[in-house]
Amino acid sequence: MLHIKSLDEGLNIFKALGSDVRVNIVKILLEKKEMNMNELASNLKITNGALTNHVKKLEDAGIVQVVSEYTGHGNQKVCRVNLDKILIDVISEEQDDMHNIYDTEVKVGHFSDYMIYPTCGLATSENLVGEVDDPRYFSHPDRINASILWFTKGYIEYIIPNLLPVSQKINQITLSAELSSEAPGINNDWPSDISFYLNDVCIGNWTSPGDFGDVKGIFTPDWWFPNWNQYGLLKLIVINEKGTFIDGLKISDVSIAQFNLDYRSTIRFKFAVNNDARYIGGLTIFGNSFGNYGQDIKVRINYSPMQPEM
């Protein structure tokens, strides 16, 4: 998912999609999953030169990915859609009523608590941390450098740094992370019910559709095993006074007001695959050296002055 935080920030996207030909390219690629340039030009009934210009604009905007593949008769360029969803904030942060914003990022390996079951493991950008399928390595000192972790069921919990100015209350928490299921090996059709908790309260659930390995993740290092998790989906979780949302869709009525959070509060966020879930398909969290988005767990907190006590 691509999150555009203002109309100005989305200009390249809007321009890239401002053409019937380019919209048709995206539609065809969504239907066919991928096509080489010759097939695509033939399907659209345009020249390869014209197609190259259109694809370049889509690629520059991050909508389409172009990769070279060796076929035995030389290299050919293959096109794929690079995004599953685009979320646009029509009201920019500057126009938002909540002007005070605190941003932070939590490393995937900087978890504060866990209880997980195999298959499981962690890795830094350079190597595995210990041995796979041994939960003990989740307490290894090198785990703080982990940029990917995975487990079949259980939970992983993070303390979100709360460095708000004094006498401020929290109005909204936005969290984004690249997530997928955890299958033995890889399986794009491997659903998993993932639950999200704020200070031990379940704020909602999302079903991951699979454990993706059909293509290499953009940031996944070269040493990574080709039959292991390659990338996930970027999910945007928001909890505010109206409830809890994921990618703009409401998933529960749990609101930020129920937690009474302010500058003194400890904020704990948990990702879990519960024993009673319908689909116990595991969880993978991708950090900035793996997957398609090059980020760890990003957090944004909107805050405002507390009302003086009477």
The full set of domain ranges for the chain reads 2-81, 97-305
Q: Which burial class, exposed, middle or buried, applies to 36 when counting CB atoms under 10 A from its CB (0-12, 13-18, 19+)? A: middle
For residue 121, give the nearest of 92, 88, 144, 143 by alpha carbon. 143
Ramachandran bin of 251, using left for φ above 0, alpha for ψ from -120 to 50, beta for the remaining angles? alpha
User: What does the pLDDT average to over 35-51?
Assistant: 91
Q: 76 or 255: whose pLDDT is higher? A: 255
Summarize the confidence of residues 175-189 as an average pLDDT.
Answer: 95
What is the CATH code of the structural domain delimited by 97-305? 2.60.120.260
Per-residue pLDDT, 133:
97
Tens-digit pLDDT profile for residues 273-285: 999 999 999 999 9
Tokens of 72: 């035995």
> Is the distance from CB of 34 to CB of 79 less than 8 angstroms?
yes
CA 162 – CA 100 distance, rounded (Å) = 14
Token pair, residue 11, equals: 């200009």
Mean pLDDT lowest among 73-77, 79-83, 136-140, 182-186: 73-77
What is the pLDDT at residue 267?
98
Please give the model's pTM, rounded to 2 decimal places. Answer: 0.73
Rounded distance, CA 242 to CA 287, Å?
29
Q: Please give the helix or strand (H or E) that residue 272 lies within, else none.
A: strand 267-273
pLDDT value at residue 8? 67
pLDDT tens figures, 211-235: 999 899 999 999 999 999 999 999 9
Domain 2-81 CATH class label: mainly alpha
- In the chain, what's the furthest Cα-to-Cα distance? 79
Query: What mean pLDDT is reported for the chain?
Result: 91
202 to each of 19, 107, 268, 298, how far by Cα in Å?
43, 22, 12, 19
- Asked if the model's pLDDT at residue 7 lies above 70, the reply is no
DSSP string, 144-158: GG-SEEEEEEEEEEE
The predicted pLDDT at position 249 comes to 93
